[in-house]
Structure 1
Amino acid sequence: MTTDAVLANHPFTLHRFPLEQKNRSLQAWDSADEYLLDYISEEYQSVRNILVLNDSFGALSCAISTLYQQDEQLPCIHFVNDSFVSTAACRHNLKENQLPLTHISFLDSLETLPHAVDLIVLKIPKNAGYLQHQLAQLSHLPADIPVIAAGKAKEIHTSTLKSFNHFLSEPKTSLAVKKSRLIFSSTTNKPVNSKFPVSWPLESTEMTLINHANVFSRDSLDIGARFFINYLPAGKKPLNIIDLGCGNGVIGLQTLKRMPNAKVTFVDESAMAVASAQQNVQHNLPERLSHCQFTHNDCLTDFAPNSTDLVLCNPPFHQAQAITDHIAWQMFLQAKYTLRNGGELRIIGNRHLDYQDKLQRLFGNCKVLGNNKKFTVLSVIKRS
């Protein structure tokens, strides 16, 4: 969707990604972005090297590019994000607002942060463990770099401030404006290592799962995956399989174990998820690593049509703080495009989401493989 924003007194046209989503009530910026930008435009007028963490759709990067443009020279921005979608949205919105990409370095969540920065701005992520990981990264930077964080007031807890205090200088907070709040801190050059990745034994197996900070159900096997494992394929067919929205890769990993001739492609929009999946295959089934691909992507965008035998998926029903089914619908549409005729999409979902009706309309068939009080496992076949 396209929306017009005014950020730090500058107008912008911003798109929320993916572009095809139909929920027009969602916008590509929020009041925390507005508050943060208003503050730094008043208090920091001469910075040139800025580290931007967790900019959801590029609103911060677009506004900062304009705020600190001097004599046609743009500031140097280091954009850090775990999300493929967020990075794609930032690139798109910069172009939409006639801002070049040459002044921005795009880094994923596992890359080393630059040290030569004048200001750090951070949108507080929903995942507290991921925030701790990022603050640990910041603790390794030179001392006295200002850190300005922004988030919804209801999501800034005492534990949030304790995390800042553990890794950075003692934080202070602003008054709430439009239900958002700022946190003020700075680097101290007293490095504290992150506790991530974490690892734990996978129940009823000899496997150990390794999980980076921003991976869904990072500390234990989630109940959906536990139920889905009972309905994974087995056999000796040399199938091409996609673990879509793979997370730590447990579904694809279990499938590799049950299907000795299969090839599995692990796909997720989180860089940390893809890295976790690759480490888990390498650690637990190293002999199968050559049969795997690991792809950081927006669902199955740009995958070849009619190229896959089976797609396994536990679709999310939220994007950041927004509850939405557009990601699931995108996964279903792209799975149909990617599957060969006779290929199968097999999913697990919460029963109340009514995926059965969506899949029946899209594929013309839908079979219930199993269910319990919370989840249902569904299978659909692509027919010509």
Structure 2
Amino acid sequence: MDFPYARLRRRPDVEAENLQAYDATDVLLVERGLSLGVDGHEIAVIGDEYGAITLALTAAGIDGIRVHQDLATGRRALALNAADLGLAGFEPHDLGAALLRGVRLVLLQLPKSLAELEEIADAVARWAAPDVVLVAGGRVKHMTLAQNEVLARRFGRVRAERAERKSRLVVAAEPLPVPAAPPFPVTQRHGDLVLAAHGGAFAGAKLDIGTRVLLEVLGLADPQLRRSAPEPGETGPQPPSGDGISGVLNEEPTEPAPVVVDLGCGTGALAASYALAHPAARVIATDRSAAAVASARATVAANGVADRVDVMHDDAASELPDASADLVLLNPPFHLGTSVHTGAATRLFEAAARILRPGGELLTVFNSSLGYRAELTRLVGPTEQLHRTPKFTVMRSVRR
């Protein structure tokens, strides 16, 4: 089969010369899937970043494939690529029983985290057909023996194949009995805050350092987590000042209720903490990762603020109206998949600028080495440093 992989695009995700919409692992998974002759209604594809696996199979005449993609950008890219190529014959699903019930073949692009792989392996063993075969693939440089060990906890037979085109397939079969309850989400308490996390959520149920620094600046960190004095090279946390956010941070309720957006919310630590401290605010948490969104929903429920926090699965707040937010909180990523690339942060800065009302404020925490101040000033408005440690910097930008 001669599928036009080169025609696939990553949009609406970041596009650049060093970023492409498929790799050799996709091709190997497609070749294996076609060779097994399984009916399309008994095939599930998981982790297909931009649709290369799903669309190559449908182009070969396989219909009824179920597909799960964690990222909203991947789901939209699949739809756009399918439209460009005139292809159909697949159904999107979240990770769960509807995706896997009765499935006899799972094609998986191995995820970065072992926790995410554990959740996927458990789901396949829990809901797929008893004779299911899981074919997982990855780039050799990113694969570890620990991935085989995770699979072996849910499958009686796990076999790694020889590397080909710098990629490798691992085949798992004979699913083992699973515990009564799924292993995710996991929870962890951080002072008064409870974090919940599914396998694919960044940092799991831990409170990542950047988020903790931003919570300190906002005055929302639990006293047990605060340090008594700055470390060498730090400036002490400075609360935002000026006209823009002073009303939002004020304990007195305002009319109308201020709108606060946790952009790229992850497990929802910022959204839940802000909602707990500011009952009058309307808080929106949004992330492009389905695992993060499921985690954030579990987090706000665990903290009793589910009625005050709206959690959305969305790419760069695309579903929020222009000039609708008073405050945006942002701890942006600096990786795209396994590539170091600042394009993801730029897209979120642009999104914050779009959804902030004039005079609204963006509080951003990022690795101090990245130096985003000029870009924030250009895209959002006047930007000042509120806090700096050797590792992290917090900036305040006012929407011009």
TM-score relative to the length of structure 2: 0.86
Q: 2:295 is matched by which residue type in structure 1?
A: S
Aligned identity (percent) is 28
Q: Render the CA deviation track for 1:199-233: whole Å, top value 9, x for unaligned.
A: 1111xx32322211111111411111111111127
| Preserved CA contact (<8 Å) 1:110 1:271 | no
Match of 2:288 in 1: 269
Deviation at 1:33, TM superposition (A): 0.9
The structure-2 alpha-carbon separation of the partners of 1:265 and 1:219, relative to structure 1 and needing over 3 Å to count, comes to: closer
Q: Which sits farther off after the overlay, 108-117 or 127-136?
A: 108-117
Matches within 5 A, 1:176-215: 176-188=163-175, 190-192=177-179, 194-202=182-190, 205-215=191-201
Q: Distance in 1 between matches of 2:187 and 2:73?
A: 27
| Preserved CA contact (<8 Å) 2:156 2:176 | no
**Aligned with residue 45 of structure 2, among 52, 57, 71:** 52
Q: 1:97 is matched by which residue type in structure 2?
A: L
Match of 1:3 in 2: none
Does 2:16 align with 1:23? yes
Does 2:213 align with 1:221? no
Q: Render the CA deviation track for 1:125-154: whole Å, top value 9, x for unaligned.
A: 001101011100111222222221110112
Matches within 5 A, 1:169-318: 169-188=156-175, 190-192=177-179, 194-202=182-190, 205-232=191-218, 234-235=249-250, 236=252, 237=254, 238-284=257-303, 286=304, 288-318=305-335
The structure-2 alpha-carbon separation of the partners of 1:46 and 1:244, relative to structure 1 and needing over 3 Å to count, comes to: closer
Q: 1:61 is matched by which residue type in structure 2?
A: T
Match of 1:96 in 2: 84
Q: Distance in 1 between matches of 2:174 and 2:105?
A: 10
Q: Distance in 2 between matches of 1:113 and 1:338?
A: 34
Q: Distance in 2 between matches of 1:125 and 1:335?
A: 28
| Preserved CA contact (<8 Å) 2:283 2:308 | yes
Q: 2:331 is matched by which residue type in structure 1?
A: N
Structure 2 residue ranges without an equivalent (≥5): 220-248
How many residues are matched? 363
Q: 1:320 is matched by which residue type in structure 2?
A: G
Does 2:366 align with 1:349? yes
Deviation at 1:95, TM superposition (A): 1.1
| Preserved CA contact (<8 Å) 1:268 1:297 | yes
Q: Render the CA deviation track for 1:267-296: whole Å, top value 9, x for unaligned.
A: 011122222222222221x2x433321110
SS of the residue corresponding to residue 294 of structure 1 reads: strand
Match of 1:83 in 2: 71
Q: Render the CA deviation track for 1:47-67: whole Å, top value 9, x for unaligned.
A: 332110110110000001022
Q: Distance in 2 between matches of 1:366 and 1:372?
A: 18
Q: Distance in 1 between matches of 2:71 and 2:212?
A: 25
Deviation at 1:374, TM superposition (A): 0.5
Match of 1:321 in 2: 338
| Preserved CA contact (<8 Å) 1:310 1:344 | yes
Q: 1:368 is matched by which residue type in structure 2?
A: Q
**Aligned with residue 163 of structure 1, among 138, 145, 150:** 150
Q: Distance in 2 between matches of 1:81 and 1:40?
A: 18
Matches within 5 A, 1:330-349: 330-349=347-366
Q: Distance in 1 between matches of 2:153 and 2:52?
A: 29
Match of 2:242 in 1: none
Does 2:366 align with 1:374? no
Q: 1:48 is matched by which residue type in structure 2?
A: G
The CA RMSD measured in Å over matched residues stands at 1.8
The structure-2 alpha-carbon separation of the partners of 1:48 and 1:280, relative to structure 1 and needing over 3 Å to count, comes to: closer
Structure 1 residue ranges without an equivalent (≥5): 1-7
Match of 1:9 in 2: 2
Q: Distance in 1 between matches of 2:66 and 2:51?
A: 12
| Preserved CA contact (<8 Å) 2:263 2:330 | yes
Match of 1:4 in 2: none
Q: 1:222 is matched by which residue type in structure 2?
A: D
Q: Distance in 1 between matches of 2:171 and 2:213?
A: 43
Q: 1:259 is matched by which residue type in structure 2?
A: H
**Aligned with residue 102 of structure 2, among 116, 125, 129:** 116
Match of 2:114 in 1: 128
Q: Which sits farther off after the overlay, 254-263 or 110-119?
A: 110-119
